[in-house]
Structure 1
Amino acid sequence: MSTNQPNNKNEEEVDLGSLFVIIGKGFKNFFNFIGNIFKGIFDFFIVILLFLRSNFIKISGALLLGIIVGFIFETSKPDSFGSEMILQPNFKSSRQLYNNINFYNDLVKQKDTAALQKVFNLDKAEAASLQKFTIEPIRVENDIINAYDQLVLEVDTLTIKSYEFETFKNSFTDYDYNFHKINVVAQKNDVFDKLDEVIISSVVNNKYFKRFKELTNENLNRKDSLYRKNLVQLDSLRRVYMQVMLEEAKNPNSGTSIDLGSTATKTTNELELFNTNRRLNSDLEEISEEKSKNYEVINVISNFQPIGHEFKEVTKNYAFLVGIAFAGLMILILLLIKLNRYLENYNK
């Protein structure tokens, strides 16, 4: 028995030693693998740098030649001018506005000068100068938050619990933002102020939106009138209440008492009247804001500038584009030559 116990201990020590050796080799292989990855990436960048250094003159020459050729094309290209208009569509009219802008842009793409002349009442040269119509929302996070808050107020608690903010945010589209920016690019810099009225009227004159606006404003006016009447009645009630309080103060010991009823007494105390008055005034302010906002189908925040600004984009400049293209082509040719040499040596 005593002989077997030392043997068992030795076997356990050998097993543990082997286990540690295996674990050590595993860690070593893992770190070697990670090191080889970084080494491979480093070698790759070194190869690229060596390639660029050895062919720097050729690539630079191609780039310079491309810039010169592109500059020639750029100077012969007609100038482009841009202008923008910011609008606030009401009554969910933003979708119609987007459709109209896309329609105008399609006419430009199709070079339908006659249709553009007719739509915008332009002469042929002005219509032909139009190059692009685009529209995009001015993305403000508060628009999403305010829209969600409005939804919370309109629906019941059980419904809103199953409709989280992130879900609402993901369903929020470009049409749902409050403000939208229309950009127009043209070869003439004085054509823009002839476009805004047509763009706006194309939505404003829609019968559905006109009727929607009329009904909304009628409801707001009715609500405003009702709240103002309530405010007048509340002021009268406050005066009566104050007179009663004064009478009671003048005759503290008289047996006569004015009983307005327990319910009336509770609802016409001074603090309650003050709070009611404050709420009515607050509601009237909100109605005034709504009336101001919904007075038109589309609120114009800023019109097109009468004279457009010169439209230049580096990424669309011919000197930049042709220069990059020539340099890329030279790199491709050099790589193909290098590949061909490698294949020739490989066969040997």
Structure 2
Amino acid sequence: MSEKLPQQPQNEEVDLGQLFNAIGRLFEKLFAFIGRLFKSAFSAIIYLIKPLFIYFKFVAVAVVISMVLGFILEQTKEPTYYSNMVVRPHFDSKYQLFSNINYFNSLISSQNVDELSNIFEIDTAKAKALIGFNLEAGPETQNDLFVEYGEYVKGIDTSLVDELSYADYINNRSLMSGNLFTINARSHTQDVFTHLKKGFRKTFENDFSKQQKQVRDTTVYIKRLTYTTQLSRLDSIQKTYLEVLRNQSKNNKLSLGISGALPVQEEKTTTKEYDLFLKEQEIRRALNLLNETVAQENTYFDVLSAFDRVGKIDNNFKQRYIVLFPLLTIVFILLGFLVIRVFNYIKSYE
């Protein structure tokens, strides 16, 4: 038995060697597969752009012509100006804002200049120069999103809190979830933007928002009347307690203990002045909070950043035809050669 014992380490070394060899072969296959992927991608790219080099003269002429056409179009077309207004709607008027943005864009696309002129109270020339409106969320900071998520969690069932994380809430929130919105307006005229605020004021002051404000004001009036009534009653109770204390200090009544066993004690009327003071402070804090809420939301919307007096010129990529046209030309040329090669392959396939 002692002669067979030294053979066990040799068997273990053989097994480990086979294991390492298998792992090595696995990594070799993995690296080879990755290499084939890169090689295939590189070959596909070369195959795709190869016509650009084979027909370089034709491509160069087409690109130059498209650049000239883009330059001419940029110089001849009307300039586009834009301006933004950041608003905070109240009384759920944000839904009407979203609906009216789509309505304004439909009026612009249908060239209903008279209706646009009537809504924004501008002349028909400026109404005709409007290009469109866009509604975006924000601007919002990370802290604003955390506060919004906290308020949302407070308003739902506690059993659902664990199922909806902060990341899920942010990914699934819609445009209407926030309270801040950026209205982007674009026009061919530079001085129309300050006049657009009148039309958006009508948007926020709609029938539904007016009803919501009326309900809020009625509720606030009832709460304020309740708080003032409670304060008046507390004031009367405090005066009564003070009168009792004055009478007690004047009379200074004394009485003997039970069966004369206890010493002479002074009778005192139990009062709760401190509790009444705390209750009064609680009511006053609630009343102040109510007044602050009314003061902060006493309008249908707040303008955090108004439209610019003079719009900024729009120089985004979609407006740079001198760059956009050559790129589109190259894409169309590549697609054309690709279609021709596919057609020839299908035609010669047996």
2:300 equivalent in structure 1: 297
Q: Secondary structure at the match of 1:132?
A: strand
Q: How does 1:114-263 map to 2 (within 5 A)?
A: 114-138=114-138, 140=140, 141-142=142-143, 144-150=145-151, 153=154, 159-164=157-162, 165-166=164-165, 169=170, 172-206=173-207, 208-231=208-231, 234=234, 256-260=266-270
Alpha-carbon distance between aligned partners in 2 of 1:274 and 1:13, rounded to the nearest angstrom: 85
TM-score by length of 1: 0.72
Q: 1:248 to 1:26 in 2, by over 3 A?
A: same
Contact 2:49–2:334 (Cα < 8 Å) also in 1: no
Q: One-letter code of the match for 2:285? A: S
Q: 1:109 to 1:253 in 2, by over 3 A?
A: same
Among candidates 302, 307, 311, match of residue 310 of structure 2: 307
Alpha-carbon distance between aligned partners in 2 of 1:249 and 1:61, rounded to the nearest angstrom: 111
What is the aligned-residue identity percentage? 25
Residue 210 of structure 1 deviates from its aligned partner by 1.4
Q: 1:23 to 1:195 in 2, by over 3 A?
A: closer
1:285 equivalent in structure 2: 288
Residue 22 of structure 1 deviates from its aligned partner by 5.3
Q: How does 1:75-114 map to 2 (within 5 A)?
A: 75-114=75-114
Alpha-carbon distance between aligned partners in 2 of 1:303 and 1:120, rounded to the nearest angstrom: 15
Contact 1:143–1:178 (Cα < 8 Å) also in 2: no
Contact 2:48–2:338 (Cα < 8 Å) also in 1: no
Q: 1:14 to 1:104 in 2, by over 3 A?
A: closer
Alpha-carbon distance between aligned partners in 2 of 1:247 and 1:66, rounded to the nearest angstrom: 103
**For structure 1, which runs of at least 5 residues remain unmatched after alignment?**
none
- How many pairs align? 329
Alpha-carbon distance between aligned partners in 2 of 1:232 and 1:116, rounded to the nearest angstrom: 55
Residue 248 of structure 1 deviates from its aligned partner by 8.7
Residue 150 of structure 1 deviates from its aligned partner by 4.0
Contact 1:192–1:308 (Cα < 8 Å) also in 2: yes
Residue 105 of structure 1 deviates from its aligned partner by 0.5
Contact 1:65–1:326 (Cα < 8 Å) also in 2: no
Residue 211 of structure 1 deviates from its aligned partner by 2.0
Alpha-carbon distance between aligned partners in 1 of 2:299 and 2:112, rounded to the nearest angstrom: 31
Q: One-letter code of the match for 1:92? A: D
Q: Which moved more, 1:317-326 or 1:274-283?
A: 274-283
TM-score by length of 2: 0.71
Residue 98 of structure 1 deviates from its aligned partner by 0.7
Residue 102 of structure 1 deviates from its aligned partner by 0.6
Residue 219 of structure 1 deviates from its aligned partner by 1.2
Q: Which moved more, 1:241-250 or 1:60-69?
A: 241-250
Q: 1:212 to 1:280 in 2, by over 3 A?
A: same
Contact 1:117–1:123 (Cα < 8 Å) also in 2: yes
Q: One-letter code of the match for 1:75? A: Q
Q: One-letter code of the match for 1:312? A: N
Q: 1:108 to 1:50 in 2, by over 3 A?
A: closer
Alpha-carbon distance between aligned partners in 2 of 1:22 and 1:81, rounded to the nearest angstrom: 66
Q: 1:322 to 1:170 in 2, by over 3 A?
A: closer
Q: Secondary structure at the match of 2:190?
A: coil
Alpha-carbon distance between aligned partners in 2 of 1:35 and 1:294, rounded to the nearest angstrom: 63
Contact 2:121–2:198 (Cα < 8 Å) also in 1: no
Q: Secondary structure at the match of 2:111?
A: coil
Contact 1:244–1:258 (Cα < 8 Å) also in 2: no
2:259 equivalent in structure 1: none
Q: 1:310 to 1:249 in 2, by over 3 A?
A: farther
Alpha-carbon distance between aligned partners in 1 of 2:283 and 2:125, rounded to the nearest angstrom: 58
Q: Secondary structure at the match of 1:304?
A: coil
Alpha-carbon distance between aligned partners in 2 of 1:333 and 1:273, rounded to the nearest angstrom: 87
Residue 327 of structure 1 deviates from its aligned partner by 4.0
Among candidates 304, 324, 327, match of residue 327 of structure 2: 324
Alpha-carbon distance between aligned partners in 2 of 1:27 and 1:287, rounded to the nearest angstrom: 69
Q: Secondary structure at the match of 2:83?
A: strand
> Which string of whole-angstrom CA distances, capped at 9 and with x for unpartnered residues, describes residues 164-187 of structure 1?
443655654222311112121111
Alpha-carbon distance between aligned partners in 1 of 2:155 and 2:247, rounded to the nearest angstrom: 46
